[in-house]
């Protein structure tokens, strides 16, 4: 899990989903419901290694590792891990294209491109930007807004993406940004979007579900394994 979470940081940086040294990618420890892995604050995502992670409990105490816990890491991620059963892995980013959508009066990810259809009825929207999350109540509000979805578009702020595993959460994060990018590029032409008809959406969503595994393996895991091989082929110490 440490290796996967380190790879998740490296890959998010490689795809331009990071912002400075801000934002956090966290995962609950296997078999535990009260502690999670978090990179020490101050590290760039391109340098995070498997051995760097802190084990942090729900009171923000560091049980393993060395380095500071940044406030919003605790106040956003702890409530989402605690309150969202689907939130074993919680990724919060300010990735540019999805964040651009959160700035719009209508922030909807439109069903206008195939990659967006994977998010049909799986995106929650929180229009209430409240400043920095500096107490648990703001994270709890975000967790409630997320509900049982895997994506929360955080108004005027960024995104929260959760998954039952690190590969599944990263898959959502990656394709959300790709779909948002396509939408922003399409809108930038100034021409109206052509939305996909509801019956085609429903048929395609069913096709996605039927193809979720290939050769007995989860598509998200196959993708994540391929991306880790990309990391392995470049000088990289993420697994150390």
**Smallest separation, CB 4 to Zn ion (Å):** 22
Token code pair at residue 173 = 């994060």
Nearest distance from C-beta of residue 31 to Zn ion, angstroms: 29
Q: Which is nearer to Zn ion, 118 or 158 (CB)?
A: 158
Minimum distance of Zn ion from residue 158's CB (angstroms): 5
Cβ proximity to Zn ion, 29 vs 90, nearer residue: 90
Q: Which two tokens stand for residue 51?
A: 């051995």
Closest approach of Zn ion to the CB of residue 146, in Å: 14
Give the count of residues interacting with Zn ion (CB under 5 A).
Answer: 1
- In DSSP notation, the chain reads -HHHHHHHHHHHHHTT--BTTB-EEEEEPTT-SSEEEEPPTT--GGG--GGGPEEEETTS-EEES-SPPPHHIIIIIHHHHHH-TT-SEEEEE--HHHHHHHTSSS----S-SHHHHTTTT-EEEE----SS--SHHHHHHHHHHHTT-SEEEETTTEEEEEESSHHHHHHHHHHHHHHHHHHHHHHHTTSPP-PPPHHHHHHHHHHHHHTSEETTEEHHHHHHHHHHHHHHHSS--TT-
| Residue bearing tokens 């964040």 | 99
Task: Between 158 and 163, name the residue whose CB sits nearer to Zn ion.
Answer: 158
Stretch near Zn ion under the rule CB under 5 A, chosen from 116-124, 145-153, 155-163, 205-213: 155-163
Q: How far apart are CA 170 and CA 163, in angstroms?
A: 8
Which of 83-91, 150-158, 196-204, 216-224 is the region at the interface with Zn ion (rule: CB under 5 A)?
A: 150-158
Residues 158-197 that bind Zn ion (CB under 5 A): 158
Q: Smaller CB distance to Zn ion: residue 71 or 221?
A: 71
Extract the tokens encoding 238: 């993420």
Nearer to Zn ion, 133 or 179 (CB): 133
Provide the minimum distance between the beta carbon of 233 and Zn ion in the complex, in angstroms, as a whole number. 32
Of the two residues 158 and 167, which places its CB atom closer to Zn ion in the complex? Answer: 158
In whole angstroms, give the CA distance from residue 125 to residue 145: 7
- Smallest distance, Zn ion to C-beta of residue 66, A: 24
CB of 23 to Zn ion, least distance (A): 6
Q: Which residue is nearest to Zn ion (CB)?
A: 158
Binders of Zn ion among residues 113 to 132 (CB under 5 A) are none
Q: Which is nearer to Zn ion, 7 or 154 (CB)?
A: 154
Stretch that binds Zn ion, among 40-48, 100-108, 157-165, 207-215 (CB under 5 A): 157-165
Q: Which residues contribute to the site for Zn ion (CB under 5 A)?
A: 158
């Amino acid at each position: 899990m440490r290796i996967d979470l380190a790879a998740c940081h490296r890959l998010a940086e490689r795809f331009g989903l990071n912002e400075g040294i801000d934002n956090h990618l966290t995962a609950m420890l296997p078999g535990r419901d009260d502690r999670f892995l978090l990179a020490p604050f101050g590290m760039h995502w391109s340098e995070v290694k498997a051995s760097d992670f802190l084990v942090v409990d729900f009171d923000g105490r560091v049980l393993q590792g060395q380095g500071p816990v940044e406030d919003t890491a605790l106040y956003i991620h702890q409530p989402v891990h605690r309150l969202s059963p689907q939130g074993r892995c919680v990724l919060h980013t300010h990735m540019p294209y999805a964040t651009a959508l959160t700035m719009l009066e209508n922030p909807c990810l439109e069903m206008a491109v195939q990659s967006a259809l994977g998010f049909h009825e799986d995106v929650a929207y929180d229009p209430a930007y409240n400043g920095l999350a500096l107490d648990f109540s703001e994270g709890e509000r975000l967790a409630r807004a997320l509900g049982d979805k895997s994506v929360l578009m955080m108004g005027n702020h960024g995104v929260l993406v959760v998954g039952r595993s690190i590969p599944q959460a990263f898959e959502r994060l990656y394709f959300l940004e790709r779909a948002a990018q396509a939408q922003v590029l399409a809108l930038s032409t100034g021409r109206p979007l052509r939305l996909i008809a509801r019956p085609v959406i429903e048929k395609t969503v069913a096709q996605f579900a039927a193809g979720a595994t290939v050769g007995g393996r989860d598509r998200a895991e196959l993708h994540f394994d391929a991306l880790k091989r990309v990391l392995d082929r470049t000088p990289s110490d993420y697994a150390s």
